[in-house]
Amino acid sequence: MNLILKKWDIADKNALIKICNEADRQYISNRLPFPYTESDAQWWLNMVQEKEGKDGIFRAIIMNGECVGNITVEKKNDVQCKDAEIGYLLLTNKWSQGIMTEAVRQICLIAFKELNIIRITGLVYKPNIASQRVLEKNDFILEGIMRNAVYKNDNIYDMCIYGKCL
């Protein structure tokens, strides 16, 4: 598998817009705007340039030369400053190919090395079995389930809390 995690750059704006507009939104936060506009991409890419390596690791997922997804690990703050949260998004036509499992493996190595953290947390809506499996294949442990924690598209979901420690 020829998979590379590439630092996002301002020149990647169109790829980011494509990913955010074409991705399945069923199990992702509503804070990701839709439609995802040029100004949304510009704001996010500027934020990434400022926070990269200090407050988070932000990467484009490149498969065989094509940008197919996004993956981030963002540090928390205050008393949770040694913890970070992982998030990821992959184009639907690239699902079930092992891409995200490998991307999670790679970004966890980078994040533990560069962010001065001892833990990475993954939050997954309970029906999202595929995302749970990605984390489990990367040695994340299911630590608990928050009941009725998410309201999305007129549905109530439980939230699975996964953790991976150094």
User: Is 155 in contact with 122 (CB distance < 8 Å)?
Assistant: no
Question: Order of strands across the sheet with 119-125?
Answer: 3-7, 56-63, 66-75, 83-90, 119-125, 155-165, 141-152
Query: What is the domain range of residue 124?
Result: 3-165
Give the CATH number, domain containing residue 123.
3.40.630.30
1 has pLDDT over 90: no
Mean pLDDT of all residues in 134-146: 98
Count of the separate structural domains present in the chain: 1
CA distance 65 to 80: 36
148 has pLDDT over 80: yes
Mean pLDDT of all residues in 126-142: 98
pTM for the predicted model, two decimal places: 0.96
Instruction: List, for residues 81-91, the tens digit of each pLDDT value.
Output: 999 999 999 99
Share of the chain above pLDDT 90, in %: 99
120 has pLDDT over 90: yes
Instruction: List, for residues 16-75, the tens digit of each pLDDT value.
Output: 999 999 999 999 999 999 999 999 999 999 999 999 999 999 999 999 999 999 999 999
